Chains A and B, each alone.
Chain A
């Protein structure tokens, strides 16, 4: 076999596959969003934007991402540094902390439903502590703050693990000598964290944040399990346009809005955490 052609032969299946199932549907979704029976139009977007649910679901999605992602980042950084200095039991602790990585968003929603539903464990606990006499409905339109909290907790619980894994892998790549040198010069643990770990972790932080932020805009099943229709989010609206209203043009239009937001945030993160050439480990 001609070894000039071999690499192209090897990447051909993936390239074909992604053209067919990634690029092609991407252009199709764009096409669907900008067309209807009469041809090229913005009607789909107009319909979506004038829907009273759109501003709410946009606000909910962004608010959730804004509440969840920073907490996850802080928590993942904390866990990663804790694991890093662990000698005994590192494997078992890491396994436990990465368990949520394998748990689907739907299952995570159901897990937190067990805690927050009316006859759930939170009410039971408050009852046994004598704080309440009768179980109250925690996840209703009367307590939207609680609905938000439940969804945010479920998201933090479920999706911190992916950031943790990326950050632990990243910290593992930082040469130990830097820390030893810093210690010789008397740098406190906090100084070592802010002056060595954080700057050298930038590529991993970049990946972790991009991945996490995009997933945060895709939030769907956790909300469906915990908030139902109480708490509309963009992805849920896409689903209901497609399925309940059978309006795939509008579904495509919202899909493009989600895509647009995701790309915008990806670019911002890549820019903000840019790694100068030559400063890579």
Chain B
């Protein structure tokens, strides 16, 4: 880089390499999803035919087969129910703790944080194994609610840490000001903190939904009759035809695309403090 001429050409080459790598990495993520889309929108015959076209036929036969496959629709509905219950439970139970962590210094706070962090150092789905026994004892075996409880265990550490970081982002002075103006802790929370925090809470709720929607192992262990979509697909992997797998995979992916788009602004804020 002795002359300015070679300098500008290096910079230009560098910029080109940079742009190309960004494009390449985008393609690396998007092309496999596109290929799944091609398979989903092709007729069953085309899905198992060869060579395969890289352009979809826009044939809905595979999706219709999926919708008509016995047990599939109820599995889809089960998945939505489980994820919805998980979403509500993890926020209702987790958010108060997040608030406590951000606003109070109390004895045992470190111990509590350790408990939360500990859960992240464990392969949690494994805990579904002993829970099968416990659920049979209390009559929760093979129920949507029982599975939602296990998924809540997966989602709750995230809910606590994310809400902790969200609450920490709201100055405590705002709350204190509301108290001097005659609010109690509860009304101050309701009228000052809650409106500010709501979008973030929604984002972490969506995150909990996705965690549950995607979970395979615990769902497969804990449900037999009331399978969720992931459990149903897993159970039928050996026997189901290709087009059914691809349509099922596609149905699994769609909400993920939408949800990540919805929470994209919060993903980084959520992880920024949550990983401390």
Contact = CB atoms under 8 A, between A and B. Distances in A.
Interface stretch (A36-44, A66-74, A138-146, A203-211): A203-211
Interface size class of A (residues with CB under 8 A): 35 or more
Contacts of A217: 123
Nearest to B263: A102
B121 A266 contact: yes
A78 B100 CA distance: 37
B252 A107 contact: yes
A124 B51 contact: yes
A56 interface: no
A217 to B, nearest CB: 6
Nearest to A229: B238
A8 B109 CA distance: 9
Interface in B113-132: 115-116, 119-132
A106 B123 contact: no
A190 interface: no
Interface in B84-106: 92-94, 96-97, 99-101, 103-104, 106
B56 interface: no
Given A28-B130, A106-B233, A169-B275, A114 B123 contact: no
Interface of A is mostly: helix
Nearest to B265: A91
Interface residues of B, number: 94
Given A103-B214, A243-B221, A121 B126 contact: no
Contacts of A79: 25
A63 to B, nearest CB: 18
Given A15-B112, A110-B249, A97 B29 contact: yes
Given A21-B127, A165-B268, A170-B275, A11 B112 contact: yes
A173 B276 CA distance: 11
Interface of B: 18, 21-22, 25-26, 28-30, 32-33, 35-36, 39, 47-52, 54, 92-94, 96-97, 99-101, 103-104, 106, 108-109, 112, 115-116, 119-134, 149-150, 152-153, 156, 160, 185, 210, 213-217, 220-221, 230, 233-234, 237-238, 242, 245-246, 248-249, 252-253, 255-257, 259-261, 264, 267-272, 275-276
20 contacts: A11-B97, A14-B96, A15-B97, A22-B122, A22-B127, A25-B128, A28-B130, A96-B29, A102-B256, A103-B253, A104-B252, A106-B234, A110-B248, A119-B49, A121-B54, A127-B51, A166-B271, A217-B123, A224-B237, A228-B238
Given A29-B127, A104-B214, A266-B121, 8 more contacts: A11-B97, A11-B112, A17-B93, A22-B122, A25-B129, A100-B29, A110-B36, A124-B52
